[in-house]
Amino acid sequence: MSLLRLENITKRFGGLIAVDKVSLEIEAGEVIGIVGPNGSGKTTLFNIISGVYSPDEGNITFEGKDITKLPAHKRAPLGLGRTFQIPRPFSSASVRENVAIGAMFGTLSGQVSVDDSLKIADRYIELVGIETQKNKESGSLTPVEKKLMEIARALAMKPKLLLMDEAMAGMNPKDIDHMVQFIKRIKEEEEIAIVAMVEHIMRAVVGLAERVIVMNFGAKLVDAKTEKALADPRVVEVYLGHPPDESKWKSEIWKKE
Ligand SMILES: Nc1ncnc2c1ncn2[C@@H]1O[C@H](COP(=O)(O)OP(=O)(O)OP(=O)(O)O)[C@@H](O)[C@H]1O
Ligand SMILES: [Mg+2]
């Protein structure tokens, strides 16, 4: 049984088909990269998986349970944790409180006291390396620190499937390498075995993902092992046909280091 299974998922916004009949499976233990040009439906797909949107068509099962109609707050306790492309912290709350919220609403929801949640928060704040900021108002963090806080919060949910939406955008190559090592470590050390991530930064995708799903115009174009997917002529064409945003791609797209 797959951990997550999407069958023929379609999502429309008015006349626009943002996600077009996407089927995919994620197995326990996988790290998957989801790539594709701007507007190809990656974030919408994440929103459907985490329950922010319900699909117009199709089914989603998580550990064999049909969650298609389950709202987001009921999915998080099942083990679906996510970060947001644009971090949305409670700005006046401290970093520590923001991360503790993850513990309270994740798979441990209802089982942990406020004190326990704060202890869990401390652990993940240290793991992502922002402990010096932990008592600051989260609104005062730099964009990169906000991303790290988002990751700490998603990890504090103790998810079975961690969905990361451009968690590394805006980071310099050194920070990206740090993140790649760090995600590998979580994959090994935590019970969080699976990470699905949307990234424009190929350095991160190549460094981490075992399998890559390429989206184009809302549809799944390619779903294959990373090397094979990125060498696929259809994938090359998608990016040549739609020149990527330089600032996002940092011209690292096909470079492997
Ligand atoms: N809430 C919404 N209402 C209307 N249209 C939307 C909404 N959310 C997304 N869209 C549209 O759906 C399409 C897919 O958008 P989505 O954000 O999923 O793409 P993406 O692959 O995440 O892009 P990016 O790489 O820029 O983050 C786009 O055309 C977008 O404008
Ligand atoms: Mg997006």
List the chain pLDDT tens, one digit each, 257 residues.
Answer: 889 999 999 999 999 999 999 999 998 878 899 998 889 999 999 999 999 999 999 999 999 999 999 999 899 999 998 887 776 777 789 999 999 999 998 888 889 999 999 999 999 999 888 999 999 999 999 988 988 999 899 999 989 998 888 888 888 888 888 888 888 888 887 766 566 777 777 778 888 899 999 999 999 999 999 999 988 888 888 876 654 454 444 444 444 33
Q: Is the dihedral of CA 182, 188, 191, 197 positive or negative?
A: positive
- C-alpha 153 to ligand 1 mean position (Å): 24
| pTM of structure | 0.86
Kindly state whether residue 106 falls inside one of the protein's structural domains.
yes
Q: In terms of domains, do 100 and 22 share one?
A: no
Q: In terms of domains, do 80 and 63 share one?
A: no
- C-alpha 100 to ligand 2 mean position (Å): 26
Q: In terms of domains, do 65 and 20 share one?
A: yes
Last residue of a domain, which of 163, 185, 208? 163
Kindly state whether residue 150 falls inside one of the protein's structural domains.
yes
Q: What is the CATH number of the domain that holds 106?
A: 3.40.50.300
Kindly state whether residue 46 falls inside one of the protein's structural domains.
no
Q: Whose CA is nearest to atom 24 of ligand 1?
A: 38
Beta pairing partners, 78: none
CB-based neighbours (< 5 A) of ligand 2, an ion: 42-43, 85
Number of domains in the chain: 2
- Helix 143-156 and helix 114-128, axial crossing angle in degrees, nearest 10: 130
* Per-position DSSP letters for 22-59, written without gaps between them: EEEEE-TT-EEEEE-STTSSHHHHHHHHHTSS--SEEE
Ligand 1 binding pocket includes 170 (Cβ within 6 Å): no
Residue ranges of the alpha helices (H) in the chain?
42-50, 72-75, 95-105, 114-128, 143-156, 173-189, 202-208, 226-231, 233-241, 246-249
Q: In terms of domains, do 84 and 159 share one?
A: yes
Token pair in block for residue 238: 């998608």
Token pair in block for residue 6: 């999407």
Kindly state whether residue 182 falls inside one of the protein's structural domains.
no
Domain that holds residue 87: 75-163
Q: In terms of domains, do 95 and 158 share one?
A: yes
Kindly state whether residue 116 falls inside one of the protein's structural domains.
yes
